[in-house]
A = this chain, B = another copy of it.
């Protein structure tokens, strides 16, 4: 994983997750600090609501995420941002669920993003 990306996760900020099924795109948000990166590079995110993603991925499981921080050095200046493409699924049991539930007691499911592209945009 890109080091700047991991540094962004240590600096709080808003993550946007965009999903799209058969109608218009939907956006949900989470915090940088809620994004857990697994050893094999998947992103695990606590989900309480996120019903729009759940509906959209029945039709199309692709998602796009953006996040960044003004406190992390970017490509040319201070402040960096990332655009991620991947596929989404939810799970609600298992060892990774238990680990996430321990960190985020409010979650009802875990949103798992399998990353196909991670692009530093700034």
Of the candidates B13, B27, B68, B121, the one whose C-beta lies within 8 Å of that of A83 is B27
| Residue A41 at the chain B interface, CB threshold 8 Å | no
Q: A68 near B18 (CB under 8 angstroms)?
A: no
Instruction: Indicate the member of A16, A68, A83 with the most B CB atoms within 10 Å.
Output: A16
Known contacts A14-B14, A70-B13; A20 and B31 CB within 8 A of each other: no
Instruction: State the main secondary structure of chain A at its contact with B.
Output: strand
B13–A16 touching, CB < 8 Å: no
A12: which B residues are within 8 A, CB to CB? Answer: 70
Q: Is the CB of A67 within 8 A of B14?
A: yes
Pair B64/A14 contact, Cβ less than 8 Å:
no
Interface positions of A from 16 to 41, Cβ below 8 Å from B: 16, 18, 20, 24-25, 27, 29, 31
